[in-house]
Amino acid sequence: MTAPTENSTAPAATDEDAERAGASQGRPSSAFGRGGPHGLGSSPLRTDALPKALGIYPYAADLWAEGILWGAVLRSPHPHARIVSIDTSAALAIPGVHAVLTAADLPAPAPGASGPLWPGGRPVLAGEVVRHHGEPVAAVAADHPDTARLAAASIAVEYQLLEALTDPEQAFNGPALHPDGNLLRHLPLRTGDPEVVGEVIVEGLYQVGRQDPAAIGAEAGLAVPRPDGGVELHLSSTDPHGDRERTAACLGLEVDRVRLVVTGVPGATADREDPSFQALLALLALRTGRPVKMTLTREESFLTHAARHPALLRYRHHADAQGKLVKVEAQILLDGGAYADVSSEVLAAATAFSVGPYLCPNVFVDAWAVRTNNPPAGRMRGEGALQSCFAHESQLDLLAAQLGLTPLEVRRRNVLATGDALPTGQAVTCPAPVAALLDAVAETPLPALPVAEPDTEWLLPGGPGGAGEPSAVRRGIGYAVGMVHMLGAEGEDEVSTATVRVSGDSATVICAAVDAGQGFATLARQIVQSVLGVSEVYVAPVDSDQSIAGPSARGRHTWVSGGAVEKAALMVRHQLLAPIAADFGMSVELLSIADGKITSYDGVLGMPVEEALEGKELWATAQCRPHPTEPLDEAGQGDAFVSIAFCAMRAVVDVDIELGAVRVVDVTVAQDVGRALNPGQIEDRIEAGVAQGVGLALLEDLRTVGGVIANPSLTGYRLPTALDTPEVRIAALLEERDVVATFGAKAVSAVPAVVAPAAVAAAVRAATNLPIGRLPIPPEDAVVLAV
């Protein structure tokens, strides 16, 4: 990348950069050209796909500026300690060090706080107490990254160790870890008659571990001071306006003096950055008056960003003799870690979906999110719903076994349908084709057994050259169904704004929706192609000077940002067609655009779009805001969600019952997509969600010992490889359009990740006939002891 001059804006990694990178290698600049597939319902190639595959796509770690300094952070080695003193003199004495910051150097704190606070009570730098392993204590800027790290390591901090509270069950009666106490939220859910007792009762205790997002790229960014005393941040943010506002508050600056430019995002299935990361970058740049770049190591990345909420779930299901649910009782406990962050909204999803996509007239749940000295937990694909899905699907397997029913049959007898009510009292007004999803996976042929294909090499559990014996391998088949909500919940205001500009035969989309891998930039192009029929569509780089679009989470950009793009494109379409319609004495509604041509209803008019646009520059800006929701009340009742997506899955596993090794052979998926706007991308997102779910089911666990992370590396934290990832077959993409959603489409990325762990656990349970109550499943839980 070209190096900007000192204090100038560093260029951001954009889709246009990707196209130029592709063109510089002698390839076409855009897959959306005249000859390529385009428009809704097609599966065009992403313009950033090839540059990313070749390793030439620019990310935040590639940014550079004249006069650049490098940042480093000193982090607490303890999960809970009081800071007695900090001596920075040794760091300041190192040649090349330009600044050292501690909490004492930050803007004035809020009353009772130890420094500027991020929402959730998290300080930018700990001033008096550290509350989790890896919490930032000091920051350094120097002229070389090694110098910065050396200086950070030379800062002498005297700690008074405090007892770490690491068991969330002890948080209720343990010492308060924060002025706000340890209870982040208690959410009861009450509906029906508490005295009802079923003819059949099954109980279970379930645990879900701490899954890390483990994005392909660690956190990196560049801060450039501005002449007006503000700062410009270049980050792989997934919420540019939210991050700008929070950073400005921490800096004590007006919001308009902080600009955030989004660079290429190297993967994001959760919130991208450690909340203090951008604030520290900005503070160092403002203190030194120089651009400051910071790139975290993988170990630092594990120590800082939020992971999935670990959960403990106790369930009791009551059913009649035919297997119909009559009552569900549950207790759900989420470990929120040291700070509040988004634990409240995660708890709402876990509670509302605690019964799953099933009908039950009597539901009594108590759910808590608590504070501990464990690593902070936050938003991660399918948050809340995933933890509950594992529990309620395990319970239905127990119920099926108790009643002598198949797992499929017990689910079919209880499925939710459109028009039914959730335990929260909210009516399911969107399509809920749960029965059809189950039928689709059940009707898909099972993969062949090795004995049916004797000439095919059989990959045993444990991988090639594994120690297991074929005679010890058992095959298991498991089913699971799950659900997720889309967009924000409990009264969160959802809005996005987009501008569409057309000049000649090309269009530009300006929208601050970050494409974090979910494919929004591709979708935006398809929308404009379909509405306007233009040949080339470009998506502008994202920055916080654009109108707000909100975070890339919960599948919201397909709905709200896609809706805003569509509305703006339709307004431009009207501007284009109105004078043509007037010339021919007809209404705009009698004209259509298809295949790059404007045609009239009677066939008299047939004009190429390019000809109609010649010499014209048209533009329009529009907003999309879905219908409002409301908070859950003191009984857990309320219309808290905009819409819901569903998925059914069948997993086939081979288990070595002597070693406890598990290989996932096949996963078959049927998903409720509303409308398949880009079938290729939908299949990609489903495969990615399944891979992430398989990781949680069998491998991924960010372990802590006394609150200290024990495996902060990609060696210690095991991610699924190509050998661990099964064949994923799509049994059905059910297209029952949600009439209130943009294009009738539903979010697709989260729900496969929610359902896959439960399906894999069910298959292991079927293979071993053992109770599987922990995720990830440790080998010892899958060992069948000889009698």
- Would you say residue 372 has pLDDT above 60? yes
User: Residue 702 burial (CB < 10 Å; 0-12/13-18/19+)?
Assistant: buried
The per-type count for the chain, helices as H runs and strands as E runs, is: 17, 31
Do 562 and 747 form a contact (C-beta atoms < 8 A)?
no
Residue 418 pLDDT level (bands cut at 50, 70, 90):
very high
Query: Rounded mean pLDDT of 261-269?
Result: 82
pLDDT of residue 270: 65
Query: Rounded mean pLDDT of 375-385?
Result: 92
Whole-angstrom Cα distance, residue 735 to residue 288?
A: 56
Residue 268 pLDDT level (bands cut at 50, 70, 90):
confident
Whole-angstrom Cα distance, residue 382 to residue 388?
A: 10
pLDDT of residue 34: 39
Do 531 and 40 form a contact (C-beta atoms < 8 A)?
no
Helix H segments across 103-193?
Answer: 145-154
Give the contacts of 34 (CB within 8 A, at least 6 positions apart).
535, 596
Residue 312 pLDDT level (bands cut at 50, 70, 90):
very high
pLDDT of residue 16: 42
pLDDT of residue 120: 61
Query: Rounded mean pLDDT of 220-238?
Result: 94
Describe the strand order of the beta sheet including 183-191 as a list of residue ranges.
183-191, 363-370, 325-335, 311-319, 200-208, 774-775
Q: Could you give the C-alpha distances from 233 to 14, 283, 293, 708, in angstroms and in order?
A: 15, 11, 10, 31
Q: Which long-range contacts (CB under 8 A, 24 or more apart) does 445-450 make?
A: 446/477, 446/652, 446/666, 447/652, 447/665, 447/666, 447/727, 449/475
- Would you say residue 106 has pLDDT above 60? yes
Tokens 């924060």, residue?
Answer: 178
pLDDT of residue 39: 81
Among 492, 493, 494, 510, which Cα is nearest to 547's?
Answer: 510
User: Residue 347 burial (CB < 10 Å; 0-12/13-18/19+)?
Assistant: buried
- Whole-number mean pLDDT of the chain? 89
In Å, how far from its chain's centre is CA 630?
Answer: 23
Query: Rounded mean pLDDT of 710-724?
Result: 92
CB atoms under 10 Å from CB of 270, counted, come to 22
Q: Which of 265-274, 580-589, 695-704 has the highest mean pLDDT?
A: 695-704
- Would you say residue 629 has pLDDT above 80? yes
Residue 291 pLDDT level (bands cut at 50, 70, 90):
very high
Query: Rounded mean pLDDT of 707-726?
Result: 93
pLDDT of residue 586: 87
pLDDT of residue 217: 84
List pLDDT tens digits, range 576-614.
999 988 888 888 988 888 888 888 888 778 888 888 888
Q: What's the sign of the alpha-carbon dihedral 44, 47, 51, 53?
A: negative
Helix (H) or strand (E) holding 294: strand 292-295
pLDDT of residue 6: 35
pLDDT of residue 53: 87
Q: ∠ CA 169-175-179 to the nearest 5 degrees?
A: 110
List pLDDT tens digits, range 432-461.
999 999 999 999 999 988 766 655 567 778
Residue 11 pLDDT level (bands cut at 50, 70, 90):
very low
Residue 462 pLDDT level (bands cut at 50, 70, 90):
confident
Percent of the chain topping pLDDT 70: 91
- Would you say residue 287 has pLDDT above 90? yes
- Would you say residue 754 has pLDDT above 50? yes
pLDDT of residue 463: 62
Percent of the chain topping pLDDT 90: 68
Give strand pairing partners of 666: 652, 727
Range name among 248-262, 312-326, 641-655 with the lowest pLDDT average: 248-262
Q: Could you give the C-alpha distances from 561 to 42, 537, 538, 548, in angstroms and in order?
A: 19, 16, 16, 10
Do 184 and 336 form a contact (C-beta atoms < 8 A)?
yes
Helix (H) or strand (E) holding 583: helix 562-583
Range name among 141-145, 507-511, 577-581 with the lowest pLDDT average: 577-581
CB atoms under 10 Å from CB of 430, counted, come to 23
Residue 14 pLDDT level (bands cut at 50, 70, 90):
very low
Range name among 100-104, 156-160, 274-278, 451-455 with the lowest pLDDT average: 451-455
List pLDDT tens digits, range 18-76.
443 433 322 223 333 334 557 888 888 887 888 888 888 888 899 999 999 999 999 99
Range name among 128-137, 483-492, 635-644 with the lowest pLDDT average: 483-492
pLDDT of residue 747: 87
* CA within 13 Å, CB half, 525: 27
Query: Rounded mean pLDDT of 529-543?
Result: 91
Query: Rounded mean pLDDT of 163-167?
Result: 97
Do 496 and 524 form a contact (C-beta atoms < 8 A)?
no
